[in-house]
Structure 1
Amino acid sequence: MWYNNILETIGNTPLVKLNKIVQDIPATVLAKIETTNPGNSIKDRMAIKMIQDAEADGRLKPGGTIIEGTSGNTGMGLAIAAVIKGYKCIFTTTDKQSKEKVDALRAFGAEVIVCPTNVEPEDPRSYYSVSSRLEKEVKNAWKPNQYDNLSNTEAHYEQTGPEIWEQTEGKITHLLVGVGTGGTISGTGRYLKEKNPAIKVWGIDTYGSVFKKYKETGIFDKNEIYPYITEGIGEDFLPQNVDFSVIDHFEKVTDKDAALMTREIARKEGIFVGNSAGAAIAGLMQLKDKLGPDDVLVVIFHDHGSRYMGKMFNDDWLRERGFLKDDKLTAKSILSQRERQEIVTLDNEKSLLEAINTMKTLNISQLPVTQYEKVVGKITESEILHALLDNPSAKSAPINSVMTQSFPFVDLNTSIDKISSLINKENSAVLVEDESGKFEIITQYDIITAISE
């Protein structure tokens, strides 16, 4: 048996029992592994459904351009379908999304526009607004609008819900899903509750998102909204696909717990999945007292871990955010092993002669250069020497005529490995902001001293 094209392989994903990671939970916990879809995520299901429905009613015409705001996974599903069906794709996404997701979309020939995260949805720079503008500007364009397009929910009502019901032989008692657009939890949950109204549907939310408070109070609280790291769940508005009547409870999970649990799933279960799966299992741990030995809980594992290699699966990325602590030296421990050194800087309009005299007086070989008290560059002995050899009268020239790119900035949690990799021929040091907000400099000599102690 073979398939006529890759789109026919969407769905019928496996249900796998979790063991080590949920050993403290009395219930049977089963994971719906959506990474086996061709785009490695559950979003393939609703992407093809939205396209089929738009083709059927004429919104999407032959040779058209699909324009969508997407964090990557929906874009992947749309891009794969576009390759098979002959459409072009333009996607807008946010700068918090992993580089791997953006690169994957471009691999399928899509154009990707990266927009700022920390703006209101109605801001013209937001990825929602940019996609809406492009839909009007690009000829023969169609915007699926995964947030408000109810084909999203219908895809899961028609596919994901029935699959779970059949795979558990109707024994499912709880459904646990990370909530972003809301299509997965609403469609799957609605189908399952029609089969058995006693089934509990739990949604995983993140801090910085509005879902939990809105469900519990009916209040849309803008004060709840702030930037967060967790990908794939939470929103700063209310998508039409989020059917709050289907969802019994929202559980919020921190960025740190979601990130660390994402790694634990791979290490304890051998299942390589993304950030929303980590958030879901972290939320499950918080809800474990609500479960008993006769319960059968199904958790959705939305997407693949390969899209998070530069984030949750990168030790330095975790350390820089204070999520990971280990015995390796960090910028903080390097600074703690030496006496406090107030950093000396020079304004960019000072002369080379002043830089020479400062270096000579302090017996140092490099200086950070500032403009309006912000570090904008650096100047070193070798750079001054080359400038004077080219033009001996350059002593009176301003530093900004000679200065080069600033030393790299790191934070206190940056590992010694990362700091060492940043120190090279172009950069003889790094700058670090200490806990009081003041800058200090770490040189190669500081690293050698720290290692040898």
Structure 2
Amino acid sequence: MDVKNNILETIGNTPLVKLNKITKDLPCDVYAKVEYFNPGNSIKDRMAVKMVEVAEAEGKLKPGGTIIECTSGNTGMGLAMAAVVKGYKCIFSTTDKQSQSKVDILRALGAEVIVCPTNVEPEDPRSYYSVAARLQREIPNSFLMNQYDNLANRQAHYESTGPEIWKQTEGKITHLVVTAGTGGTVTGTAQYLKEMNPNIQIWAIDVYGSLLTKYFRTGELDMNEVHPYVSEGFGEDFVPQNYDMSVIDHFEQVTDKDGAVMTRRLAKEEALFCGYSAGSCIQGLMQLKDKLKKGDVVVAILHDHGSRYVNKVYNDQWMAERGFFDVKSFKDVVNARGKQKLITIEPTQSVADAVELMKKYDIEHIPVINKDDEIIGSVSEGGLFQKVFSNPEIRTEKIEQVMEKAFPMVAFDTPIEKLGTLINKENGAVLAKDESGSLNIVTKYDIIQALA
């Protein structure tokens, strides 16, 4: 029978998938190494299991022991799976920057997770590095995996990721593009590929707020480069020992916004529902497109799955709050939609009149305005439906007898994140006057359309 003895045996041999739309204007083909096909939905499965195997072989991890690690989530997932299969306990420290879904997944696999503050120095006793080190000292029969300085990390990619890419491209690969964090993926894969063909270009993608790019270019550890960023899974505020900068040809930095926007484009345009770093990886590649030529074969590693980011990069409100959408205000929503005549109704008109207007103009929300042009209330499709359903005779009643409270009035340049707090289950729209004094309405549907 074609079976696996346990889930760990399914790690690796992930597919190369051609990108067709985002990269259509490039002179060459780009292939994504889609690592969410691993059982833990990320490339970190490879190095997590390798670190466990090496620790076992070296006698550092003994039966019944405890695996300790500081992790942003994906390495923890791989370690947690290995622990379940092999019979170890797991304790992970992570940062408050990571999505709650990542923490929940680790706990679902039986791991204990300690959340630590992000914006502290690595040496600070509260940092997730320091917490993991302290736990290792305090807990008997425990081993700190230390993915940053554990060279089994890059060994995993030298032994698996590199050979897979070489085989899948039949040795034709000319460029490898990969986001850089612990250094294991970029270094290990690059070491193998450079041995096979030293002319292969290795492009590491970094984030603004990380010191890796400047260190690569100057050899200087400049802490002035370090500042908070929201991108997840790559970038560092120190240089892990897994790095061998000699096998990397270029570092390229990407903004939080550009990485997030590209992540969503991957889903919408390529049907690749990936994590934040995948978008940053492709964004970095696109920033370097002028360095590519016809005949090149580019491989970009997409590290993990989008399911761990549904409350962040795939959440419209999260994106809007950080200014990651080009649509930033009430005015932008109106401009994106196009100016439309505002449909209103008078309080003396009937419920049937309102229903007819909704049908005719395909709208759900109508302001109620009296003869003095005062906004005194509103009617909504949902509200009318409930009233008509419970009492069909209500269709002949006047609007003033059934109307709801008036929609909020805001300034024409009100930020979109503010609109998101005003539009809710009880209130479906907001109003604003434009520069000419004309009244405009924005609904939840308008905002969704503008952000799409």
Alpha-carbon shift at residue 242 of structure 1 (Å): 1.4
Cα distance in 2 for partners of 1:99, 1:303 equals: 16
Instruction: Tell me the equivalent position of 2:117.
Output: 116
Code of the residue aligned with 2:41 in structure 1: it is N
For residues 38 and 332 of structure 2, what CA distance do their matches in structure 1 show?
Answer: 42
Q: Secondary structure at the match of 1:299?
A: strand
2:149 maps to which residue?
148
Moved runs in structure 1, 4+ residues, more than 6 A?
Answer: 330-333, 448-452
The letter of the residue matching 1:414 is: E
**2:39 equivalent in structure 1:** 38
The aligned residue for residue 356 of structure 1 is: none
Report the equivalent of 1:223: 224
Q: Show CA shifts across 1:59-97 (max 9, x none).
A: 001011111000000000000110101111111111111
The residue that corresponds to 1:53 in the other structure is 54
Letter in 1 for 2:50: K
Does the Cα contact within 8 Å between 2:158 and 2:191 map onto a contact in 1? yes
Distance in 2 of aligned mates of 1:445 and 1:168: 52
Tell me if structure 1 keeps the 8 A contact 2:68–2:135.
yes
> What is the CA distance between 1:413 and its match in structure 2?
4.0
1:428 is matched with none
1:234-313 map, 5 Å: 234-313=235-314
Determine the C-alpha separation between the residues in 1 that align with 2:308 and 2:302.
14
The whole-number CA distance in structure 1 between the counterparts of 2:309 and 2:47 is: 22
1:419 is aligned to: 422
SS of the equivalent of 1:38 reads coil
2:164 alignment partner AA: E
Aligned partner of 2:76 in structure 1 is 75
CA distance in 2 between partners of 1:452 and 1:310 (Å): 31
Post-superposition shift, 1:24? 1.5
Are the equivalent residues in 2 in contact too, given 1:174–1:202 (CA < 8 A)? yes
Q: Which residue of 1 aligns with 2:326?
A: 325
CA distance in 1, matches of 2:331, 2:11: 45
Mark the CA change 1:83 to 1:217 in structure 2 (over 3 Å): closer, same or farther: same
Equivalence for 2:405: none
**1:167-246 equivalence runs, <5 A:** 167-246=168-247
Partners of 2:163 and 2:420 lie apart in 1 by 49
Identity across aligned pairs (percent)?
63
In the aligned structure 1, how far is the partner of 2:223 from the partner of 2:26? Answer: 35
Deviations 1:76-135 (Å, cap 9, x if unpaired)?
000011010111111111111111111111110111111111000000000000010011
Deviation at 1:416, TM superposition (A): 2.5
| Alpha-carbon distance change, 332 to 129 in structure 1, aligned in 2, over 3 angstroms | farther
Q: In the TM superposition, what is the alpha-carbon distance from 1:446 to its structure 2 partner?
A: 10
Structure 1's 95 and 327: CA in aligned 2 closer, same or farther, altered over 3 A?
closer
Question: 2:329, 2:415 within 8 Å by CA — same for their partners in 1?
Answer: no
**TM-score normalised to the size of structure 1?**
0.75
Are 2:9 and 1:8 equivalent residues in the alignment? yes
- The alignment partner of 2:133 has SS state of helix
- The Cα offsets for residues 130-149 of structure 1, whole Å up to 9 and x where unpaired, read as 01001111121111000000
Superposed displacement of residue 420, structure 1: 3.4
User: Is contact 2:116-2:128 (8 Å) kept?
Assistant: yes
Aligned counterpart, 1:90: 91
What is the CA–CA distance in structure 1 between the aligned matches of 2:182 and 2:239, rounded to whole Å?
9
Partner of 1:395: none
- 2:107 maps to amino acid: R
Alignment length, in residue pairs? Answer: 356
Q: C-alpha distance in 1, partners of 2:63/2:251?
A: 41
Structure 2 residues without counterparts, runs of 5 or longer: 335-413, 434-438, 442-452
One-letter amino acid of the counterpart of residue 165, structure 1: W
Contact 1:67 1:131 in 2 (8 A): yes
CA distance in 2, matches of 1:175, 1:448: 50
Q: For residues 35 and 269 of structure 2, what CA distance do their matches in structure 1 show?
A: 18
**Residues 197 and 310 (structure 1 numbering): CA distance in 2 closer, same or farther, change over 3 Å?**
same
Give the TM-score normalised by structure 2. 0.76
Structure 1: tracts of 5 or more residues without a match: 334-410, 425-443
Q: 1:35 to 1:445 in 2, by over 3 A?
A: closer
8 Å Cα contact 2:175/2:297 also seen in 1: yes
